[in-house]
Structure 1
Amino acid sequence: MKLVVRVKLLPTPAQAAALETTLHACNEAATWVAQVAFEKDVRRPLGLRKHTYTEVRQRWALGAQAAQHAIKKTCDAYTTLRANLRSGRYGRPGTTRHTRASGKPVTFRPEAAQPYDDRMLSWQHEARTVSIWTTSGRLKGVAFTGQAEQLAVLAAHRQGESDLVRQGGKWFLIATCEIPENALNAHPVGFIGVDLGIVNIAATSDGERHSGRRVNRKRENDRALRSKLQKKGTKSAKRRAKKYAGKEARRNKDINHKISKRIVAEAERTGRGIALEELTGIRERARLRKPQRTTLHSWAFAQLGAFLAYKAKRAGVPVIYIDPAYTSQECSQCHHTARGNRPSQARFACTSCGFVEHADHNSSHNISHLGWMAWVRGAQSTAPALTLIA
């Protein structure tokens, strides 16, 4: 499986200036290539190369590989745009947003990521330095740093391209690593059901709850502060608002990493799989009051699901997705389903058998059961046909 590792570069002022000039040149060239692709309606690398390669090399003094990557990056950007237009991310055809997105060439920020292959970038892991191509010549001995675990993964499993990017005035290399996967546990003894929510970020069928109350309070305070700064409108206020937004995103990512790591570790230890709700359309399905909508729409449900999926895949833990319809209204004991079973957000009380439980735990038990049933049906469908002997 593929995993990305981000390491921080520690260039000298002279090296940083060379990297900045290179990144600006590559992205300026890619923006020009995107304009040519739009005007000539050419979106494939081979065809676009015929129209742009020579001028890119001469006009921006890019090396052969850098010019190739600038062209390929442009084609990839148009492919992504086309997929987003088809999926409806920019609204329906004919709407203002759809027309604006499809009616102009793609542009690249001056500090957008630039791909580097092994001809342009080499790693010296013991010395923790890289040798990297720039428009000013090849820079040798550019130091990098990172967490010990990440650097070990990088040294052992790095493959393919790495991206040079500048974020917040700091330089990073984002490297792709091919991580070996553990053999999938084809005979799980059960499934841990995971119910995702707002008040409790994740509740498991083992009785564990990852509360989101403190997180939500902190996020509300951050949103209020950002709103105040945005209304102020000064440059310093906008800079602070951007800083707080990045801080919140990093905190949410860290929380999702910790929750997913803990759930996957428990599933691996006990020989079980993980059953998750199908997250597609979760924001459209939810019916919340207006004050709660911001909290719902700003939480990274997809990120948490992705973290659970890739950590489980790496550990060999099977993951199965189930339809979440009525899991919050169904009794996990007698399976009676009614809206009246949920008298409040946190309480579940079955009107048929009288079973009482925390609502999120009851839902997680239903998810666990549905996950096991789906797994059994899948195992039966792939089993060889029986041969009857008279």
Structure 2
Amino acid sequence: MEQSITIKAKLLNIDNETAQAFVQSMEKYKDACNFISQYVFDNNFELSQSKLNKALYHEIRDQFGLKSQMAQSAIRNVIARYKTVRTQLSQKPYRFDTGKKDSKGHAIWSQIPRDLDWLWKPIEFKRPQLDLQRGRDWSYLSSAQQLSLNTLQGRKKVSFVCKGFDQYLDADKWKFGSIKLLQSKQNWYVHISATTSLPEYSPEEAEHVVGIDRGLHFLAACYDEAGKTLLYSGEKVLRTRRKYKKLRAELQSKGTKSAKRRLKQIGQRENRWMSDVNHCLTKTLIDHYGANTVFALEDLTDVRFATEQTAKDKRYEMVSWAFYQFEQFLTYKANLNSSIVVKVPAKYTSQRCPKCGRIHKENRDHKQHLYVCDRCGYKSNDDRLGAMNIQLLGTLYRSGEEAPQFNKQASAE
């Protein structure tokens, strides 16, 4: 199994000539990506590398002056972006009210799967960037400990700083890929992709199984095979998000150019903060439980929070936390630590009593975050209870059951 990561490094002492070369190359590359994106949009979302290369390669080089490998990288970059959007659309089907009612008088909702045909306009590349391929467009100069980056004005040698970079120089373990050149204010950065080969990990080999229930009251409620619980509060996160929300509302009411610039800055800052929270939390989980662990998560694909039953002033917090990002971070860190992340069905995990198996929706009190079983009287925090049920499904998965899930009919017997 191969695991890819992104190494972030800051470039140092960039002179004006080098900066200008970077800026011009990044602008041309961005314009080429938008040109390719328009073509993909106009031609039934053609995403074949060979067909796009045949149709656009020479025109990209002539019109934008990109070098050979840069033109290829631009095509690959556009294809990757469209595939990402296609995946995101498939995970978020269009949901609409059918106008019908069920036996209890509740509205009946239906879903329509979405694909790239739902796009109204081509994907736009707004931020200047440049993708450089290992060997052809960039290299590491070990003697000078510098990076050699190709631009439209020739090669530029630059110094950089990256904590722990030496560990990735082991050619027997790590293999470098492409570099993405970015600018943030007056600073320059590169994101270097690196890939390592890992032995295939079998869940049956795991020593620990941890169920993790993700939420807003607790960002992560964890329960392991020893019966121990870890709860990571989300109250501080909610307060911070509400602060950003209030500040955005104030700036939006002003509507001035300076307010719009400030809005953009705040959005980027909040996204960076959210990523940092997820990074720190997933690292804490990996360090706490150690190697040979099965981390079981609910499969939240096609799961939508019931925002209609939530107060309007709390709906933003309910639907906008980066749960999928948390899953991605935990997955790659687990892979690098001889562990694995598995996804189990979310159905009934918050309604099932872990003591007697009773599944009853009304046993859960959302306001008090309490679950009380009406059959055996078992009581627990509802987030902890969800983690317990997820942990049980993870244990069944480790035992060899391919698709473990809870059955409501069986619980009624």
* TM-score, with length taken from structure 1: 0.83
Of the three residues 378, 382, 385, the one matched with 2:401 is 378
The correspondence of residues 207-246 of structure 1 with structure 2, limited to 5 A, is: 207-246=229-268
CA displacement, residues 81-123 of structure 1 (integer Å, 9 cap, x when unaligned): 666666677899x9xx977836x55543360443433211111
* Alignment-derived partner of residue 165 in structure 1: 182
* Alignment-derived partner of residue 46 in structure 1: 50
* Alignment-derived partner of residue 9 in structure 1: 11
* Alignment-derived partner of residue 296 in structure 2: 275
Q: What letter matches 2:169 in structure 1?
A: A
Q: What letter matches 1:129 in structure 2?
A: Q
Any unmatched runs of 5+ in structure 1?
Answer: 382-390
CA RMSD of aligned residues (A): 3.2
Q: What letter matches 2:337 in structure 1?
A: A
Q: Is residue 29–residue 129 contact of structure 2 (8 Å, CA) maintained in 1?
A: no
Question: What's the offset of the Cα at 1:330?
Answer: 1.8
Aligned residues: 373
The correspondence of residues 1-390 of structure 1 with structure 2, limited to 5 A, is: 1-10=3-12, 11-35=14-38, 43-77=47-81, 79=83, 101=119, 105-109=122-126, 111-125=128-142, 127-140=144-157, 142-146=158-162, 148-149=163-164, 151-156=165-170, 157-181=174-198, 184=201, 186-205=204-223, 206-268=228-290, 271-284=292-305, 288-343=310-365, 344-378=367-401
Question: What's the offset of the Cα at 1:77?
Answer: 4.6
CA displacement, residues 233-277 of structure 1 (integer Å, 9 cap, x when unaligned): 2222222222222222222212211221222233325x5422211
* TM-score, with length taken from structure 2: 0.79
For residue 226 of structure 1, give the secondary structure of its aligned residue in structure 2.
Answer: helix
Q: Distance in 1 between matches of 2:28 and 2:260?
A: 28
Any unmatched runs of 5+ in structure 2?
Answer: 97-111, 405-413
Moved more, 179-188 or 78-87: 78-87
Q: What letter matches 1:374 in structure 2?
A: Y
Q: Distance in 1 between matches of 2:229 and 2:241?
A: 26
Q: Distance in 1 between matches of 2:315 and 2:383?
A: 19
CA displacement, residues 166-216 of structure 1 (integer Å, 9 cap, x when unaligned): 344532211111134366363334411111111111111122110000110
Q: Relative to 1, partners in 2 of residues 1:153 and 1:245: Cα closer, same or farther, differing over 3 Å? A: farther
Percentage of pairs with the same residue: 28
Which has more strand, going by share of residues? 2
CA displacement, residues 105-162 of structure 1 (integer Å, 9 cap, x when unaligned): 554336044343321111125644211111112212x12222x12x234433242222
For residue 348 of structure 1, give the secondary structure of its aligned residue in structure 2.
Answer: strand
Q: Distance in 1 between matches of 2:221 and 2:42?
A: 52
Q: Distance in 2 between matches of 1:99 and 1:378?
A: 38
Q: Distance in 2 between matches of 1:352 and 1:38?
A: 57
Q: Distance in 1 between matches of 2:360 and 2:403?
A: 31
Q: Is residue 129–residue 180 contact of structure 2 (8 Å, CA) maintained in 1?
A: no
Question: What's the offset of the Cα at 1:225?
Answer: 0.3
For residue 231 of structure 1, give the secondary structure of its aligned residue in structure 2.
Answer: helix
